[in-house]
Each structure stands twice: as structure tokens, then as C-alpha cells.
Amino acid sequence: MHKFHVLIIEDEKNIRNFISKTLSSQGYRVSCAATGNEALSLAPCLVSCPVPCTAL
């Protein structure tokens, strides 16, 4: 069972892949985007989401 769904937005492919693999191995469901526009296409609700999103 997945803990949370995490959206990683990182332009460096190696960093994006490392973070994705690390979180996946810990049970998180992971989606990745290289740009902000790509992230919005994966999760358009982020634009008008009434629920706060956590980001690092």
C-alpha cells in the first residue's frame, strides 16, 4: 500500500531519477516532471487546489 503520491519537479534527470527510486523504495507512489508546465499537465488541480500542498 502506498503512503502518499509525490510529484517530483526537477530539471536534472539524474537527480529526478534518484529521488524517484528512493521514494518508491520507501513505498511512495511517485510521478515525475522536468518542468513546471509538465507538472501542471500531470496534476492540473495544483492551480486551484483548496488543500495546501507540501513542497520542499
Tens digits of per-residue pLDDT, 15-31? 999 999 999 999 999 99
Tell me the C-alpha distance between 15 and 24, whole Å: 14
Contacts of 52 (CB under 8 A, 6+ apart): none
Residue range 29-42, pLDDT digits in tens: 999 999 988 988 88
Residue found by looking up cell 495544483 in the block:
46
pLDDT of residue 5: 86
